[in-house]
Amino acid sequence: MGHTLTEKIIAAHLVQGEENVASSAEVWPGDLVEVAVDIVLANDITAPIAIREFETLGVERVFDRDRVVMVADHFAPNKDIKSAEQCLAMRQFARAQGLRHHFDVGRMGIEHVLLPEQGLVAPGDIVVGADSHTCTYGALGAFATGMGSTDIAVAMATGCVWLCVPETIRVVYHGRLRPWVGGKDLILYTIGHIGVSGALYKAIEFAGPVIDDLSMAGRFTMANMAIEAGGKAGLFAVDDRTLAYVDGRVSRPYHVYQADTDATYAQLIEIDVSQIEPQVALPHLPENVCPASQAGEVQIDQVVIGSCTNGRLEDLRVAAELLRGRRVHPDVRCIVIPGSQQVYLEALREGLIEAFIEAGAVVSTPTCGPCLGGHMGVLAAGERAVSTTNRNFRGRMGHPESEVYLAGPAVAAASAVAGHIASPEEVQQCN
């Protein structure tokens, strides 16, 4: 009986005493195992808690200063005294520990955009982070998952964590994508199909000919939102596109794992993408999905284009294509947030930033701010936003009586122009 990609990666990282078990070891769903981790991640919200717990362990040094990564991205640049103190605690710890990878203002980015971009995650890795969207790195063929800050404290100290091996759902995508349909639309459609608990504590393997042709940006988006289906992780098999992405970025050795052809899956789902239109998730759950063209005349107050889900250069290019030569609706605030300093710089060089500003949008330094209702776009009571972020729970982006509609960059940009939820085709037809 064969093994899934998740089982292969976990088995290769098993710990027995102080030595890794040979790669021929096997694990099965439901096994409780201790594994060595390749990367440990925390941010300015979760790191201070992990640091306090780390200090209670009585350990003087982190297990490896090259493998503990800290990113100030949620409330940075700091919006108030409390957030300044959070970032200060992380900054002081990083300096005291001599961490090689501490990303602060001016050098930072949204963590799940930044780490792959900087080559810190490699295929075959196990990555644990004190952030639920750590599953993003599954796009690189890694097993990556979010954990609580206390677990992260132990991982920082020992380089190991305990895991219950998850079952795996395999989702296979067939057909040909329609115009303006990308990774965000595929994952929203999938979550709408299986529900927010459809993959509860399971890994999701994304596969099929559509996935083979999907860009890395699209794969990162889909892996990122595996957690919105309840998933423990979302993974893609490593192919030539993956290897081209990590080439020149990842400088350390890594190992590529592939699922066995006779692997056992908890569920096999097949999806024909040919009829999928650009999608939108209505409040207040990511599973409340419908085509943007069927959302109705929903007037909006704000659009956010960015986040760890859709803040990459490809996403900004899509948005700029629709905003260039057009104007943001006078009743709408359009906020564009590049996912990293590098993305910002490349967007500037390509003229994307100019297009956004000329259209009447505002461009922010990289931050998670509005996604969690932190800053740079908090909603008031009764306001509605179309956002390329990943969650639309009640009160997620501000007041509990506000509403968040999730979409990809094409729908978000089109809606910013129209003043209501709109498909890209609607805006193009108005020219």
Per-residue pLDDT at 246? 97
Per-residue pLDDT at 429? 78
> Where does residue 349 rank: exposed (0-12), middle (13-18), buried (19+ CB within 10 A)?
exposed
How many domains does the structure of the chain reveal? 2
CA proximity to 402, closest of 363, 373, 369, 362:
373
Local confidence band at 72 (pLDDT 50, 70, 90 cut-offs): very high
Q: Do 93 and 186 lie in a common domain? A: yes
Q: Do 63 and 120 lie in a common domain? A: yes
Tens digits of residue pLDDT in 209-259: 999 999 999 999 999 999 999 999 999 999 999 999 999 999 999 999 999
Q: Do 84 and 122 lie in a common domain? A: yes
Q: Do 137 and 164 lie in a common domain? A: yes
Q: Do 227 and 325 lie in a common domain? A: no
Tens digits of residue pLDDT in 270-324: 999 999 999 999 999 999 999 999 998 899 999 999 999 999 999 999 999 999 9
Reply yes or no on whether the pLDDT at 86 is more than 90. yes
Q: Residue 420's beta-bridge partner residues?
A: 299
Structural domain harbouring 129: 5-271
Q: Do 368 and 261 lie in a common domain? A: no
Q: Which amino acid appears at position 188 of this protein?
A: L
Percent of the chain with pLDDT over 90: 93
Reply yes or no on whether the pLDDT at 19 is more than 80. no
Q: Do 128 and 239 lie in a common domain? A: yes
Q: Do 84 and 228 lie in a common domain? A: yes
Radius of gyration of the chain (CA): 21
Q: Which CATH number fits the domain that encloses residue 128? A: 3.30.499.10
Tens digits of residue pLDDT in 401-419: 999 999 999 999 999 999 9
Per-residue pLDDT at 383? 97
Q: Do 142 and 243 lie in a common domain? A: yes
CA proximity to 136, closest of 116, 152, 122:
116
Reply yes or no on whether the pLDDT at 37 is more than 60. yes
Q: Do 156 and 219 lie in a common domain? A: yes
Tens digits of residue pLDDT in 42-56: 999 999 999 999 999
Q: Do 170 and 194 lie in a common domain? A: yes
Reply yes or no on whether the pLDDT at 131 is more than 80. yes
Mean pLDDT of 5-20: 82
- What's the predicted TM-score (pTM) here? 0.94
Token couple for 236: 């893609």
Of 271, 297, 325, which residue sits at a domain end? Answer: 271
Cα–Cα distance for residue pair 236/139, rounded to 1 Å: 5
Token couple for 209: 């000919």
Reply yes or no on whether the pLDDT at 58 is more than 80. yes
Average pLDDT in the chain: 95
Tens digits of residue pLDDT in 89-111: 999 999 999 999 999 999 989 99
Of 213, 246, 271, which residue sits at a domain end? Answer: 271
Q: Do 263 and 404 lie in a common domain? A: no
